[in-house]
Amino acid sequence: MQGPIQGNVVFKPEKFSIESAFSIGWAHTKRQFVPLLLVMAVSWVIPMAFAFVSFLFALLIPKDQAVIKLLYSFVAGILSLAVNAILELGMINVYLRVLDGDEAKISDLFSATKQMFTYVMGNFCFNFLLFWGYLCFIVPGVIVSIAVQFYSYFIVDKEIGPIESIRASWIASRGARLNIFLMVVLFHVLRSFGTLMFFIGLIPVNMVISLATAEIYRQLLRNTEPNDFEGIEGLRFALPTQEEFEESHRLVKPQPYTQAPVQPSASTQVQPPSELSVQALETDSSSSSSESDSPSTAPQPGEMP
């Protein structure tokens, strides 16, 4: 038999909690502050060093070589874009690993290099949508920026393509876009307070915000039904099945049905077998003794013996 009826009801929680995301981000910031600081410092130093070296090489090109200058600027721009893409993907990978309990490592900055081209294409599609969205009276652009901003997390975490990642972010943010908008406003307020603290406050504020954003991505992914991602081939084997999702989101877990033992009444109490056998023996012996003690009657005359 089936369990209780309420055990079959699938509980649909809110997509994410801002309070929970910030508390988790703050807890991991305290736990990994120094390693995160080192990783962030490296992610800042590398682009600055690359820009400085590019500037020095540009000075070595003669002023009358306009074509060479133009070609060099184009190549330097492509390389700068690639470096920034690798580091941005690397920082997302670092934040996701920290949420999993791992320690922030500098080597994790370069562990998502193979997704660089996918990220560049996804970033191009994202900015293209933003451009046409803001061109259409701004509001569609705001909706796109809110709903599609997690595409880079899908690229790093699930290794799916640029179009698939944008679609996945759009689907995962359904039902939570107002809270995401409030989250973005809160992030800007916190960064403003961090800037007022002589820019020193920006370091822990950025850590908390980045970790909270990664946690919000995880909550959105965890609370979106796998059937909603149907058609995104890259996510087919990267998510739990619909049955596993429903089992993890049941309001009350179904319990196996067990029938309560029937208590015997006083009138129908069953005696132990040993007592029954003793009583049977006593009854047989008493009946035999009574038969032996009764006088035998002889047949009277005229009666058949």
Q: State the DSSP string of 132-186.
A: HHHHTTSHHHHHHHHHSTTHHHHHHHH---HHHHHHHHHHHTTT-HHHHHHHHHH
Both structure tokens of 193 = 């307070």
- Give me the residue label for tokens 């989250």: 183
Each domain of the chain, given as residue ranges in start order, spans 9-248
Bridge partners, residue 254, by sequence: none
Contact 148, 132 (CB under 8 A): no
C-alpha dist (Å) from residue 250 to 9, 10, 254 = 6, 4, 9
pLDDT at 88: 92
- What was the pLDDT predicted at 290? 47
Quote the CA–CA distance of 300 and 287 in Å, as a whole number: 27
Ramachandran area for residue 124 (φ above 0: left; ψ -120 to 50: alpha; else beta): alpha
Q: Is the distance from CB of 258 to CB of 1 less than 8 angstroms?
A: no
d(CA 52, CA 67): 21
The sign one gets for the Cα dihedral 274, 275, 277, 281 is positive
Q: What is the pLDDT of residue 138?
A: 82
Cα Rg of the chain (Å, integer): 39
For residues 189 and 123, give the distance between their C-alpha atoms in angstroms, rounded to a whole number: 25
Per-residue pLDDT of the chain (305 residues; tens, 9 = 90+): 344 444 466 666 677 888 899 999 999 999 999 999 999 999 999 999 999 988 888 888 887 788 888 888 889 889 999 999 999 999 999 999 999 989 999 988 888 888 889 999 999 999 999 888 888 878 888 899 999 999 999 999 998 999 999 999 999 998 889 899 998 899 989 888 877 776 677 889 999 999 999 999 999 998 888 888 887 877 766 777 777 777 777 766 555 555 555 555 555 454 555 444 445 445 554 544 444 444 444 444 444 44
Beta strands in 82-236 (DSSP E): none
Give the C-alpha separation, 60 to 48, whole Å: 19
What pLDDT, on the 0 to 100 scale, is given for residue 260? 53
Please tell me the predicted confidence (pLDDT) of residue 241. 75
